[in-house]
Amino acid sequence: MKKEHLLKRLDNVDLPELLIVSHKAWLKRALLEGTLARQDIDRAATPGRIGSWFDGILSWLRGPIWRTALASSLTVILIGAILAVTLYFASPSPAVVAADIVKRDPGIQQKLSGAGEIIIVRVEVRDRMATVVCGRSMGDFIEADVDIPGKSVVNTKRFEGLFIPEVPLDAQDSAVKIASAEPSVKAMLDKGGTVGRVFPIFSSISSIAIINGNILKVSPAATQAVVPVLFNDKVWMVQVNLEQKRVERIIEPQSNSSPHFDIYYWLKQT
Amino acid sequence: MIKRDTALVSGQSEEELVKRAQHNRGAFGELYEIHYQRIFNYALKRTASVPLSLDVTSVTFLKAMNQIGKYRWRDIPFAAWLYRIASNEINDHYRKEGRRGVSIDRISELADTTDFADEINQAEEELSKHEEFLLLHKKLSELPSMYQEVIVLKFFEKKKIKDIVKILGKKEGTIKSLLHRGIEKLREKMQ
């Protein structure tokens, strides 16, 4: 349709011109005599606000009984859903509860020697029971069986905290040869020093995890090893790069420290 | 026939009448007599519904009576003010899908029922005879309200641009632009 044609139609259309006499008379009387309820005027003065919106709902609910029933059902469902969501987010998971029971248990705190916060290494939940492996930043670990509903530790098993994975024999030989070729190490060995158990070096202590309390799972694979050298009742740590076949560094022993501590300390620093 | 001349009412200007109506309900009745039909028919042309137009008219005058104390003649003529209230009511109705401040059901209850119902039926029958208008309105109602109101005021109410400016409280350029775009959109709907 052309614009001119549309304009012509709009200009010439036969328009309704009506009058509802009874409404006109009634409305005038209602206005002048104030027979319309005050709330009607107020509502008219604020159309579309909360009041009329709420009134709309009430008006809708005043309809057939099915509307009331539907609204009641929806309200119950809504309240139930809100409660479920609130309880779900307000309640900690069983694993968190089990870990908390272990952390607060006086027996566990006593058995884990040393200072520092108790670290939860692993939690396994089975039905109402959980197995929690925990330790401190140093020292041994404890595997605790926890009764979650009873909020108690029912059994504990202690094991050494530092498990040193085996380095393959050929890699051990290679590491010892590389370390022994270092003049300072050779001098110690020539004077009666001995080589200890060779262990690998990993990029981070966090890559170590306990599985069943017996094994250290390490990833990625170690490319370096440490050759401990015991001389004059002290331990030197010889860090060997197995790929490049060279000594990276030699860590001097600390006074009054055990080899066990040195190894752990060294790992922590890596 | 309803008197449309608002220049003089009972020997006084409409401005003087409005001032009186701000303190005198009887004077508001005179303004009501002057403007009732034009507001009702404006609503009818916007909505093509007799019950809805009655509803809009009732609310428009209720609001006007309630707020006339705040009305200032120098800002906008009284008729334009009523048009603006009615226009806002209609737009509000379309936004809220029929939720009204004062419903037609409520007014029907209050009104003298038998005559009122008969008159509504007759009016609807009369309205149905205006097929060309109803066809145009059907297409027009598919446009956003801002286009509907300028087209209805310009073509159905025969208002000049300067009057539409006062009614809608928008700039002349805006009104012309809305009119141009509205007609284009209506033309597309009429294809």
Write the secondary structure of B31-46 as one string of H (helix), E (strand) and C (coil). HHHHHHHHHHHHHHHH
The partner residue sitting opposite A48, judged by closest CB among B92, B103, B130, is B92
pLDDT at A188 over 60: yes
Mind listing the pLDDT tens digit for each residue in A88-99?
666 677 888 888
Instruction: Report yes or no: A50 at the B interface, CB cutoff 8 Å.
Output: no
pLDDT band for position A169 (50/70/90)? confident
Whole-structure pTM value: 0.49
- pLDDT above 90 (res A195): no
Residue A160 has pLDDT above 80, yes or no: no
The ipTM is 0.87
Neighboring chain B residues of A45 at a CB cutoff of 8 Å = 62-63, 66-67, 101
CB contacts of B115 in chain A (<8 Å) are 22
CA distance B164 to chain A (A): 16
Nearest beta carbon to residue B66 from set A20, A45, A59: A45
Which stretch of A136-140, A191-195, B157-161 has the lowest confidence by average pLDDT?
Answer: A136-140
Going through A150-223 in order, the beta strands assigned E by DSSP cover: 152-159, 194-195, 199-201, 208-211, 215-218
Residue of chain B nearest A40, judged by CA positions: B102
pLDDT in tens, B132-153: 999 999 999 999 999 999 999 9
Q: CB–CB of B136/B148 below 8 Å?
A: no
- Indicate the residue of A10, A23, A32 with minimum beta-carbon distance to B54: A23
What tens digit of pLDDT does each residue of A212-242 get?
A: 343 343 444 567 788 888 888 778 888 888 8
Chain B residue with minimum CA distance to A15: B133
Q: Which tokens hold the place of B16?
A: 């003087």
Q: What is the mean pLDDT of residues A44-52?
A: 43
C-beta atoms surrounding A212 within 10 Å: 10
Tens digit of each residue's pLDDT (9 = 90 or more) over B67-90: 898 888 777 899 999 999 999 989
- Distance of CA A170 to CAs A166, A174, A263, Å? 11, 6, 22
A61 contacts in B (CB within 8 Å)? none
pLDDT(B160) > 60: yes
Q: Any CB–CB contact under 8 A between A58 and chain B?
A: no
Over chain A, what is the mean pLDDT? 73
B116/A32 touch (CB, cutoff 8 Å), yes or no: no
Nearest CA in chain B to A51: B101
Tell me if chain B has a CB within 8 Å of the CB of A3. Answer: yes
For testing contact with chain A, the best of B1, B102, B183 (most A CBs within 10 A): B102
How many interchain CB pairs under 8 A, A with B?
143
To 10 degrees, the CA torsion angle through A149, A155, A160, A162?
-10
β-pairing verdict for A234-241 and A246-251: antiparallel
Rounded to whole angstroms, the Cα distance separating B161 from B170 reads 11
Give the integer Cα–Cα distance in Å for A222 and A224.
6
- Give Cα B159 to chain centroid, integer Å: 13
What is the percent of chain B with per-residue pLDDT over 90, rounded to a whole number?
55
Measured in angstroms, the CA of A128 and the nearest CA of chain B are apart by: 54
**What does pLDDT average to over chain B?**
84
Would you say residue B111 has pLDDT above 60?
A: no
